[in-house]
A = this chain, B = another copy of it.
């Protein structure tokens, strides 16, 4: 028996030597994708061996894995056996949905350079002969200890006198730009919070500000969704009444406060030690969160109220963290290219890329940035909520029972659901796979028209639909002609965005050295399928990199390092914004982009 440990899920246990890593994972409740049921066909169960000896690489793995992957010790879990104790990293794309959240992303690689100083002091208690005010007493001690404290946050000040007395005149202070923003016990571990607020989902990270390590993270739904799936409906709602605008802000704040409480409990820290926060989101979300007016975002020329980065007292937003903590919001670029895009660029190091790199953050709204040897431009495209399963008859979010992968073999569709449960619907990655497979297997043509096929039937209303999964006694799960049209619009928007950027900057496809796919959804799509239907440019699979929530990574980088905030501000100023609606022959180009096919 060997001890196998799966990261970052953090499960470990004893497993027999003759068991594949895939089976060991299942034994330990780590849900790795097993579309082909562990026979080495689908190639979806890629894992990275971190430490320990495993069986030699098989010929099938050599076919499926790229050279770079093999080099970095990637293996197919179904074809790999342990030869001793092994530590395995399961990349997010190899996990089924219940365990993969929108918080996965690149690890941080910068030395912490936080926005505050931390200073511990021990004070002399005042006496009747030396009636030193607490504040004077503390300030003197801080400055003697090398701090540069000049002013005091009111909330921190309110907290200080009882704390000093309870803690026998010992305390730790956080000082930011000369302002004492928190006074806590001498053993306090200062933390920070990085938040990526997406239109649909929110990722929250609790970070140790001394080490820069992420202590805990959580993903949650954006509760504003009750005011509309897309930002345009939320903007309309906020414009309609002040109450709506208040509510839209309050919903976010409540959700964040709850999540901070959970994360602090997860990590065993006190929320009063959370002294810094970085929050990113698209421009509309950013404005709604700050309760800035949004009318001007909804009308031409669609300008933000605020472009620059801003530091706001957490309490002014209702966030319950350290007494005098500030929240830093990264800069926006334009009305529809926001701080989350800046964070994504930061998190992917796109601005530092040497050649020609395209970075795509796919979501309800998709932002794309092209870096052509240092010259950078971005567009925004309204890809809509189809990838979240909305407006698709059997669509659903990536939850247990959702069809996440589809293949058609011998004319018959095979589906893989999240958690291996009976199919309940289809999520975004399943949709991409299904469309690609339908195209490759002649179930539809490149115009998106569903063709006659044994699995295609005509509904009573005359609409054609392709049967993905039969469910005796229940509605079969199908993709209708209308569903295909929805997907078509989403993929056309992204395709057109990429084309517009390339044309604007004079880049041809083969010049593109790398395509970075960011965002929770982008992490789980099958790139091949996305190429097949023409959503992504047809380039060698090696040139693509799926990085998970890069905006979350960028937010964490900006949290732990002031240098990263400066970098973000500099990058935001440097990016040219291209208004997609203003490109020449928009309608014609949009129509062209809607064709399926690489």
Chain A interface residues (CB < 8 Å from chain B): 126-136, 139, 151-152, 154, 157-158, 160-162, 165, 290-293, 295-296, 300-308, 310-313, 315-316, 332, 334-335, 577, 579, 582
Q: Are A157 and B301 in contact (CB under 8 A)?
A: no
Q: Are A303 and B134 in contact (CB under 8 A)?
A: yes
Q: Are B157 and A292 in contact (CB under 8 A)?
A: yes
Which of B154, B313, B334 is the one whose CB lies under 8 Å from A290? B154
Q: Are A311 and B131 in contact (CB under 8 A)?
A: no
Min distance, Cβ A573 to any Cβ of chain B, angstroms: 10
Q: Are B306 and A134 in contact (CB under 8 A)?
A: yes
What are 12 pairs between A and B in contact, CB < 8 Å? A130-B301, A131-B303, A134-B296, A135-B308, A136-B307, A154-B290, A154-B310, A157-B292, A157-B306, A158-B291, A161-B293, A161-B295
Q: Are A136 and B292 in contact (CB under 8 A)?
A: no
Min distance, Cβ A208 to any Cβ of chain B, angstroms: 28
Q: Are B292 and A332 in contact (CB under 8 A)?
A: no
Return chain B residues, CB-CB under 8 Å to A151.
310-311
- Knowing A151-B310, A335-B131, the reply to whether A160 touches B305 (Cβ < 8 A) is yes
Min distance, Cβ A148 to any Cβ of chain B, angstroms: 15
- Using CB atoms, name the residue of chain B closest to A334: B131
Min distance, Cβ A544 to any Cβ of chain B, angstroms: 31
Q: Are A302 and B136 in contact (CB under 8 A)?
A: no
**Bound Cα distance from A188 to B421, whole angstroms:** 66
**Bound Cα distance from A160 to B134, whole angstroms:** 39
**Bound Cα distance from A304 to B134, whole angstroms:** 7
The 10 closest A-B pairs by CB, nearest first: A133-B307, A133-B304, A161-B293, A128-B301, A135-B306, A126-B303, A161-B305, A136-B307, A131-B301, A134-B305
Which of B131, B161, B293, B302 is the one whose CB lies under 8 Å from A577? B131
Q: Are A306 and B152 in contact (CB under 8 A)?
A: yes
Min distance, Cβ A130 to any Cβ of chain B, angstroms: 8
- Using CB atoms, name the residue of chain B closest to A133: B307
Which of B131, B154, B310 is the one whose CB lies under 8 Å from A579? B131
- Knowing A133-B332, A291-B158, the reply to whether A127 touches B296 (Cβ < 8 A) is no
Min distance, Cβ A296 to any Cβ of chain B, angstroms: 5
**Bound Cα distance from A311 to B150, whole angstroms:** 11
- Using CB atoms, name the residue of chain B closest to A150: B308
Return chain B residues, CB-CB under 8 Å to A579.
128, 131
Q: Are B154 and A295 in contact (CB under 8 A)?
A: no
- Using CB atoms, name the residue of chain B closest to A332: B133
- Using CB atoms, name the residue of chain B closest to A335: B131
Return chain B residues, CB-CB under 8 Å to A152.
306, 308, 310
Return chain B residues, CB-CB under 8 Å to A332.
133
Q: Are A292 and B128 in contact (CB under 8 A)?
A: no
- Using CB atoms, name the residue of chain B closest to A300: B128
Return chain B residues, CB-CB under 8 Å to A133.
303-308, 332, 334
Q: Are A316 and B154 in contact (CB under 8 A)?
A: yes
**A-B contact sample (10 more), CB < 8 A, given A128-B582, A152-B306, A158-B292:** A128-B302, A128-B579, A129-B582, A132-B303, A133-B306, A134-B296, A134-B304, A152-B310, A157-B310, A162-B295
**Bound Cα distance from A313 to B304, whole angstroms:** 25
Return chain B residues, CB-CB under 8 Å to A157.
290, 292, 305-306, 310
Return chain B residues, CB-CB under 8 Å to A302.
128, 131
- Using CB atoms, name the residue of chain B closest to A127: B301
**Bound Cα distance from A295 to B582, whole angstroms:** 65
Interface centre among A133, A307, A311, A312 (most CB of B within 10 A): A133
- Using CB atoms, name the residue of chain B closest to A577: B131
Min distance, Cβ A492 to any Cβ of chain B, angstroms: 22
Return chain B residues, CB-CB under 8 Å to A334.
131, 133
Return chain B residues, CB-CB under 8 Å to A129.
582
Interface centre among A293, A300, A312, A579 (most CB of B within 10 A): A293
**Bound Cα distance from A133 to B336, whole angstroms:** 12
Return chain B residues, CB-CB under 8 Å to A305.
133-135, 157-158, 160-161
